[in-house]
Amino acid sequence: MTRRARLALLALGGLGVATAALARPAAARRAAVSAVPAGLRSPVCWLPLPFTPAAVRVMRALPQPPAPIRDGVTVDERTVQAGAGRTPVRVHVYEPAGRARPSGAVVWTHGGGYVIGDPVGYHDICSRLADELGVLVVSVDYRLAPEHPFPAGLEDAYTALLWLHESASELGVDPDAVAVAGDSAGGGLAAALAQAATDRGEAPVCFQALVYPMLDDRTALREDHAGRGALVWTAASNRFGWTSYLGSPPSHDHAPDYAVPSRRTDLSGLPPAWIGVGDLDLFLEEDVDYAERLEAAGVPCELLVVPGMYHAADRFRADDPRMIDFTRSMVDALAMGLRRRAVDGGTG
């Protein structure tokens, strides 16, 4: 059982979920799990994972075991500040051995529905990116909702991006080869960060890698999800996450600029993108729609939809060949995006 599955079990135990309820899952859950290929099934698939205020308190109280770090990659935890009046932000900086300078860089924002999560849980993917791409990776410990609703998380991520640009010479980074990436809510933050950076024009982003990103609060307003979202991240959790982040329940009428990436009407001029999602994921439709709209706006976007993949399956079953290929696709897309920008000298 993976580290995250164990944490989920502990959280549920702390909330007093009865063992009998876990041993006799509802027919709907059995049907949902049966749609998952055997190799992708994880114990977490059988567990109800309600994101509620009580559940979030328990999850945050649990110790977060650090994910493994690639050999040859050092991690430096520091507090950074950029721009007048900005709140200092804690980041983890991943430095691969023998990095050629200047290199590209990646700003990573972690998942967790905007309400949980910690960079240490992503040491594995961040150190992998640093190692395989030969780049500096900055993972942002952004403030979490509901205590810190929008725009706190986005502005923390922007502070890290701005610091990376302002310190590019010292860090040995090519400012024309800086990408953003993240998963789930972190993927949504990465998309919003790319939008804000494009509009503000002071910290360019050359590529965005969005791993099953949380892009559209209006998904929380729908009743029919065609059977998707039954595993790990559900419609109820989605409503809680968006309500926490926005500071009020989602509405069809309005959302603040940059809070909900899919609400942006004009996607032209944004950096090229990679978007990956499973066809059992609650976010399938919003992710496919965003990819298609990027392409229609003239923004190159590679879309990968994996049959039988539920939300965050790559974290729970990283050893499955489908998940190996999924992550490989994301890493390769980042490599291509960074390399193209470096070769073009920031002009293409």
Q: What's the CATH number of domain 67-344, 3.40.50.1820, 3.40.50.150, 1.20.200.10, 3.40.50.300?
A: 3.40.50.1820
Give the pLDDT score at 49. 81
**Residue 23 pLDDT more than 90?**
no
Burial class (CB in 10 A: 0-12, 13-18, 19+), 33: middle
**Residue 16 pLDDT more than 80?**
no
The residue ranges of every structural domain in the chain are 3-60, 67-344
**pLDDT tens by residue, 120-156:** 999 999 999 999 999 999 999 999 999 999 999 999 9
Burial class (CB in 10 A: 0-12, 13-18, 19+), 27: exposed
**pLDDT tens by residue, 175-206:** 999 999 999 999 999 999 999 999 999 999 99
Catalytic residue among 127, 165, 311, 314: 311
Catalytic residue among 127, 184, 237, 244: 184
34 catalytic per annotation:
no
**Gap between the Cα atoms of 18 and 175, Å rounded:** 53
**Residue 17 pLDDT more than 90?**
no
pTM over 0.75: yes
281 catalytic per annotation:
yes
Within a 10 A sphere around the Cβ of 261, how many other Cβ atoms? 27
Catalytic residue among 131, 281, 287, 320: 281
